[in-house]
Homo-oligomer: A and B are copies of this chain.
Amino acid sequence: MNKPDNEHAHTENVQDHFRQVQHLLEEQALAETAALPPDLPHDERHELLEKMLHKRHLTELRKKLDELHSADVAYILEALPIEQRLKVWNLVKADRNGEILVKLSTTVRESLIARMSRDELRNAAEHLHTDEIADLAPDLPQNVMRDVFKSLSIDEREQLRTAMSYSPDSVGALMDFNMVHVRENVTLEVVSRYLRRLGELPSQTDHIFVVDHDDFFKGVLPINMIVVNNPETVVGKLMQTGSIRLNPDEKAEQAAHSFERYGLISAPVVDEDGKLLGRVTENVVLDFVRSKAETSLLNQVGLRGEEDIFASVWKSLQNRWIWLALNLCAVFFASRVIGSFEDTIAMLVALATLMPIVAGIAGNSANQTMTVIVRALALGPRSRTNVRRLMYKELKIGGLNGLVWGSIAGLFAYFLYYSVPLALVMTGAMLLNMIVGAITGMSIPLVVHKLGRDPAMGSNIMITAITSSSGFFIFLGLATIFLI
């Protein structure tokens, strides 16, 4: 008999939990400071009372934390500033440390690991599955990893080695080893007895795997099938042999698309020879999709990675400086472009007021083109004709936008300075720079993609750099030729 597992006991919202923990922390801090002032009358009984109050709050907090799902504790740790985070962390039961660490973002995880002793870390890691240890491994000190490795069985060591051997964006890195397998010649009756003996199935088990005596993958048997079919049926008759199989070296992104497309809950990972290595489950995939999306958003503005919200100012500066530096180089360059037309500007100051218009709009338009291309690239490989067609379309859009907005900007310029030549130069420069923008917006993601990088990475900054320099150059250049 199995008691219902309590892993999902959450009718309350995690944000309520957060508020409660924060409230307890505040009360506890209050009790703490109230106990501190030495100018209070030295009443022994009073002091004792304070201490008890302090302790009571800690006990209450500890109790609250024990009741929470480890994912909720992780959420709360992420949302707390560093001192409070450490206080909460010390109250969490040691045997839950591992599963909570696995669920934290790298930066928050590092902040906690830095405060843990070698023994505590080893103990935390030993409570985990091998695939989870592999996830933690990059953040653990080497000597701890050595201890952990020694404590594993030979099979587990092999699994850990396997899990750590794959690149972080491959299917192998998402894989776990908690799967149930059976042979194809047994009946459902036998399978049911076997499962009953196991007592509990690994989470996210929607099917069990059918393998031969050498662990070669034969097919999958959905748990639902065991329930809806006659117990005498033989596994081989029900198993699905055509279901999707993942290769450990495949891109994780591609596997995520398969999960989404076919509504998978778990999928087997099979090597080239057809041997079953492990499985990937949808919760890991969901996590991957979410963090990938976040990384794109961060990368676009040149943030290198996730930044702990409560990271020190110094850490934040380190995370952000590279693209600011690149951006500075870009504007220095743009500034020199303008500088080379100083004589022109000296003769016609109006140019200085109008030039940011040419630079700005093309940047925006180019970013739109870039976003469309990045999406098209994400949709998968397209034939040459399709890429050519798409590029042709974006060029047309750039040109049309240039005509429309260029005319408006030209009118704007005319009504300010009542000069037809100036208005025409404005319109011409807008048109040309919009086309430059379209070309830039297309080629940057295509080139970055060819190089195998995330096409969203910093492309925003590069595009703005190019379109503003070219905008200044085209506008001031045309002005020098036609107006001076």
Contact = CB atoms under 8 A, between A and B. Distances in A.
Contact of A79 (B204, B238, B380, B401): B380
Nearest to A103: B261
A356 interface: yes
Interface size class of A (residues with CB under 8 A): 35 or more
A15 interface: yes
Given A2-B229, A260-B290, A364-B327, A357 B335 contact: yes
B371 A356 contact: no
Nearest to A204: B263
B302 A368 contact: yes
Nearest to A230: B1
B356 A350 contact: no
A257 B8 CA distance: 14
Query: Could you tell me the dominant secondary structure of chain A's interface residues?
Result: helix
B339 A416 contact: yes
Interface stretch (A46-54, A110-118, A130-138, A388-396): A388-396
A8 B244 contact: yes
A282 B223 CA distance: 17
Given A330-B360, A368-B301, A201 B230 contact: no
Given A10-B243, A342-B350, 19 more contacts: A2-B238, A4-B240, A8-B264, A15-B380, A72-B261, A79-B380, A196-B230, A285-B286, A293-B296, A294-B375, A297-B297, A302-B368, A316-B393, A317-B401, A324-B361, A328-B409, A331-B356, A335-B356, A346-B349
* 5 A-B pairs with least C-beta separation: A293-B293, A263-B283, A9-B242, A352-B352, A71-B261
Interface of A: 1-2, 4-11, 13-15, 18-19, 22, 69, 71-72, 75, 78-79, 81, 192, 195-196, 198-201, 203-206, 223-230, 233, 238-240, 242-245, 254, 257-265, 281-283, 285-287, 289-290, 293-294, 296-298, 300-303, 306-307, 309-310, 313, 316-317, 320, 323-324, 327-328, 330-332, 334-336, 338-339, 342, 345-346, 349-357, 359-361, 364-365, 367-368, 370-372, 374-376, 379-383, 386, 389-390, 393, 396-397, 400-401, 405, 408-409, 412, 416, 456, 460-461, 464, 468, 472
